Amino acid sequence: MNLENVTETSRAIREMAAALGVDAVGFARAVRLDGDALRLQDWLSSGYHADMAWMEGHFEKRVDPMLLVEGTKSVVVALFSYKPAEVQSSNLPQIAKYAYGTDYHIVVKDRLWELLKVIQKKYPEVEGRPFVDSAPVMERAWAVRAGLGWIGKNSLLLNKDLGSFFFIGTLMLNVELDYATPLKSSCGGCTRCIDACPTRAIVWPKVVDARKCISYHTIENRGIIPDSIKPLIGNRVFGCDTCQDVCPWNVRVAPHNHQELAPRQAILSSSLEDWTALNEDRFAEIFRKSAVKRTKYSGFTRNMQIVVENQASSRIDKCE
């Protein structure tokens, strides 16, 4: 392949990514993720994925990018901040910050396709394919290898400049690039995320049991939420940000600059009464192209019922 030298090609791709609004970008050599494969297998064997059977599928493709996209030599990892400038009032039914704006699957994938086209315009020999959380790709593992951060004790990727409120996209390319050296953890002895988790879902550092996780139950769980979990959900109607909200690495992070991810006014202002009065048509209208639609109207109303019950219990407790 008659490309410029690896250093120049890597520099050019970094500049292209920055011009398209990517907040951080790194490159990792495409290899089988042997260590991560063992950790994933242990996690699955422990049943920590609850009923998310899709996490067991395509195991080899999940840990070997060359099986996912033939000819892959490098994994380009892109981070997109979603830390909002304005958040919901704590007394409102809470929606996870990642779902404030347009569905990240749409936003990030569109941006990665743009990046690929720009790369191919300069380097026609390049072939590749982008992925955003909808294929068997271990995004966090690749981000670590690309030097973009380390895995925090809440199992999320932490970046010194962006904290953890960001989306991860990957782009598999058939060219060699400059590869980063993975960073060491900078969590130290901090255990704020573990201590703050309402359901003790972080069973030990870097390991989350989805069967206890509020995000899993309010989004992925299509069935009945256990009685032991319901009161701990509090006023969370979609997801949970607790372990990120308490993380010191998120304190000084500037708000994101992505217009598509700006909070929808309905999310910032809707009250308990507003959401409980929501019919299916209005739900579809408010959450058009939103990640909230993942839970479907039936899941949203189920979650709202739990929030209503928790609010009623809270008022009774205060009266007593």
**Angle, alpha carbons 92-104-271 (nearest 5°):** 15
CA distances (Å), 249 to each of 155, 187, 260, 291, in order? 14, 9, 24, 25
C-alpha to C-alpha distance for 266 and 263, rounded to whole angstroms = 8
Q: Is 188 helix (H, G, I), strand (E, B) or coil?
A: coil
241 classed as catalytic: no
Active-site residue, selected from the candidate residues 133, 178, 245, 274: 133
Q: Find all residues with CB under 8 Å of 75, minimum gap 6, and list them.
A: 27, 28, 29, 30, 65, 142, 145, 146, 170, 171, 172, 173
Name which of 169, 168, 152 is nearest 160 in CA terms.
152
Dist. CA 168–CA 207, nearest whole Å: 19
| β 236-238/94-95 pair status | parallel
Q: Which residues contact 34 (CB under 8 A, 6 or more apart)?
A: 63
- Specify the residue for token string 């500037």: 254
Task: Say what the alpha-carbon torsion angle 76, 261, 134, 35 is, to the nearest 10 degrees.
Answer: 50
Q: Rounded to whole angstroms, how far apart are CA atoms 123 and 2?
A: 9
Burial 189-216 (b: 16+ CB within 10 A, else e): eeebbbeebbbebbeeebbbbbbbbbbb
Q: How far is residue 174's CA from residue 167's CA, in Å, rounded to a whole number?
A: 23
Q: Which residues are catalytic?
A: 133
